[in-house]
Each structure stands twice: as C-alpha cells, then as structure tokens.
Amino acid sequence: MNKILVIETERKAREQLIQCLEAEEFHAIGCETAQMAMQTAHQWLPHLILCGVNSSNLDGFELLASLRQQTATLPIPFIFLSAQATTEDYRRGMELGADDYLIQFSIAELLRVITVRIDRQAKLKQWYAAQSTVPSDSTIFPTVSARLQVVFDFLEAHYTEEIGLKDIAEAVGYSSTYLTHLVRKQTGQSLHSWLIQRRMKAASALLIETDRSIEEIARSVGYLNVCNFFRQFRQIYGQTPRSWRNQHRGTCDFLVLERDRKKCNV
C-alpha cells in the first residue's frame, strides 16, 4: 500500500484529504507542523508528500528545501496544494524541487497526479537499481552529489536517444527549472551542455574507430538533424567531423605502425 504524508495546519482540511486518500486505498498520515512533518518523513519514508501552501505557521518552502538536502528524503515526490497562488509562489516552489503545484484542484485531478508521480518514482527506482550494477566507462561527467548522480546516470544510459531537458527532468522526478538550476549550481554548466559533450565524445570515438558515415554516426549518438550535429561538432572541435576524422586517423595509424615496428625491432 502506497504511503502518503499530508501536511496541513487546518485540521478539517487535513482530515478531509486523508479520508479521500484512504477511500482510494492509500495509507495516509497527517502532520500539522513542519517539525512533525520532517520527523515523520524520515521515520516513515512516504511514497509521496502533499503540503498545503496557505497553511498558517507552516513554511512549506523551507520544509521542501530541507527535505531536498537529505539523502533519505531527497527522492520523495512533493506536491504543493493551494487554493490560490501568486506566480512568485509557484516559481519558488518549482525551483526548490516541487514535483507539482496544484491550484484550485479537484479530487479527481489530485488523485490522477498522485498516481502518475508514484508510478514514475517506482519506475525510476527500478531503472536505477538495474543501472547501478552496470559499470560505466564514461569519464566526461563531473563528480556530483547523490541527488545529481541519478541525473548523470540517466544521461549516460540515454544520450544516444533524442532526449532533451524536459525528458530528463520527468524521468528523474524534478521540474525542468529546478534541475537546470541544480546542475548549473553544482557543475558550472548547463545539462544541455553536458549532453552535447557526452554525444561528441562518443561521436569522436566512432569517427576514428569505424568506417560508418558521418550521418550514421550522428544518428547513433542522438541526432536526427544532421545539421545540428555538424554545427555542434564544429563548435567543440573547431573543424568538421570529416576533417577531424582524417587528422586523427592519420595520427592513430602512425602510432600503431610505430608500436608494431618497435615490437619487430625494425
């Protein structure tokens, strides 16, 4: 049974939410203070957290920030609930890492969002468990915190596909805005930049090690638009893929010949 933590200072609203969730066979527990919610989240480790934004004496934003700083509570989906919200509140919540921000919602909408978030988190855990047993030979990605490692692990596994920021953010359970902020803060570069660098590393190896056409190589590293591949390759390496291949293949061939010559004492 999926566990949901409901954080709401108003007793009536809190109990109504819990009743609705239990009617749908969720196991729900309510908290009325941030301190109680933090303690319960660590001890109970719910599958999802619902938090009222307009609750008095409760700073949901501060609570979310604290939860996102702890390894145990970092991956728990967090949804803000509000009868009304300013653009500033919405933006702040999403930047802090909220998974959703529902305003004037219906119970049907809430249940749908909860189901989607819990299912996505379960699939992410399964994928990450499988990936953790597969060693990666990539050295291009930086050393990052636990909250970002899953992002770069996903990038490593899927960079050959046509993916973008939105796809990556949805897969790892973050908002695009929050993920962009987090990656740039920890690495000094955008997630898009890391994706391009990983693709170019793979492409440069294929240019040297295979006789595949440049168009085939572009598609194999995630580019459906070959023109984009040519443009980004030139931005990074300062020359076209063909020129780069010719230059580095010649160097590699020379080194191989030198190695063989020394072995034979020629």
Rounded CA separation 151/144 (Å): 10
- Tens of pLDDT, residue by residue over 226-240, are 999 999 999 989 999
Location of each CATH 1.10.10.60 domain in the chain: 193-263
What's the topology of domain 143-191? Arc Repressor Mutant, subunit A (1.10.10)
What's the topology of domain 193-263? Arc Repressor Mutant, subunit A (1.10.10)
Rounded to 10 degrees, the C-alpha dihedral 6/14/32/41 comes to -10
- What tokens were used for 214? 């440049």
CATH dotted code for 3-126: 3.40.50.2300
Location of each CATH 3.40.50.2300 domain in the chain: 3-126
Distances (CA, A) of 252 to 209, 211, 249, 255: 10, 14, 5, 5
- Tens of pLDDT, residue by residue over 190-245, are 999 999 999 999 999 999 889 999 999 999 999 999 999 999 999 989 999 999 89
- What tokens were used for 80? 């803000």
The number of helices, as runs of H, and strands, as runs of E, in the chain is 12, 5
**Per-residue pLDDT for 47 more than 90?**
yes
Tell me what pLDDT residue 148 has. 81
**Per-residue pLDDT for 64 more than 60?**
yes
**Per-residue pLDDT for 96 more than 90?**
no
